[in-house]
Chains A and B, each alone.
Chain A
Amino acid sequence: MGNKPFTGFTRISIMGKKSLTKKYIKMDEFSYTNIFDTKGIEYLIVIGFLILIIPFWRALNKPVKVKARYKEVLGVLTPEVLRIPQGLHYCKNHLWTHLKKSGNAHVGLNDLFLHITGEIELINFRNPGERVRKGDLIAKVSQGGKELRIPSPISGEITDVNFQLRKTPNILNEDPYGKGWIYIIKPHDWNNDTHNCVTSEKAREWSENELQRFKDFVAIALKKHSPESTMLVLQEGGELIKYPLAGMPAEVWKEFQECFLSH
């Protein structure tokens, strides 16, 4: 009858069947088959992977150039940026206090502090009628789990608490000396308490010094806690970017509280 080509399979394409048969060659017991013949190339690929991962990892983790990382941040923190209105007393812990004609003193955080920390949440938990002494804890500032303690600059009795801050926290940054006041306190010993505070012309000079002191603090603190962030905070001219403390870890905030603010 001669060899007729088989026409048996209509449901499976010839291409598919043939290609599979080539791939799944049955191991018979009559000729040589090496089941490990790709192992050599595989090991080479693995070595290539391991070698390549070194530059890959390094390129991924190179300290980011500030220009790229903080592209969206506009400002640089220089003394000229700070608002330092006259007539207020600027105290330790970067609080300001202003004795109004009514005899009560407004208390709040100064602009330098706010420019250093950035977006914060202020918790003024004292209530009207409470008595505080200079140095007592009157408020807490927090940012994503990091906290700072705010002690009172003067002694006296709290007559009012700014509840507006809880509803619209951004007035703290926008108008720290006006609508962003934190407490109104009836002072018991105004002159003694504000003896060490800075006023008027001295305030600007003092702020410049504080800014410089802060730069030094940043350099030391970052070296200690997170060396790779150093590049994030200082630009080419050695100037600070806006809100430098915002991106820093909690350890740096602790140091800020203990070493910087308490001086």
Chain B
Amino acid sequence: MNLHDLLSNCINQACQQVFSTMLGVTLAQGEVSVESATPDANDGVVSLIGLAGTWTGTGSIGCSPMLACRICSQFLMTDVQAVNEEVLDAVAELTNIIVGSVKTDLEEHLGPLGLSIPTVVYGRNFKMRSTKTADWTTLRFDWDGEPLLVRLSIAPTQETVHSRLHAPAHACDAEA
């Protein structure tokens, strides 16, 4: 299994589990793509969270303001119509839980990883740029016609051969 397959499996599993458990929503499998180190310009709400260890990287979730409000409404069982602090906090926490779940799965392959506190951006036509050159594994989920983009970019900090990466291909989908 290569790195992108591993990441996409872990992200798919984490997203489906988190949406089902915390939001009561069944998500279909995400559409996987690999993007260059500089993703396209973004509009809406993007939440970013850092990973650090012998591998370092960034996880992000991006969605429209409408979907961010829906996430918050479902999360808190309340009706939210406009992006406010509560919405940004809900998207940040969703990112924390999803990327945290992915991190726990990845640790079996990549060793211990630390997780930063999430940062949320809300605006138009902004670009994300990482000083790392790793590609982004991107999964596009659909929630009633609104796209949710979950991205992860991670690369080793040392010239180490991580043979465990080529170990069990089913490791990420074994957990119930």
Q: Do A and B bind each other?
A: no
Show the binding face of A for B, using Cβ within 8 Å.
Answer: none
Show the binding face of B for A, using Cβ within 8 Å.
Answer: none
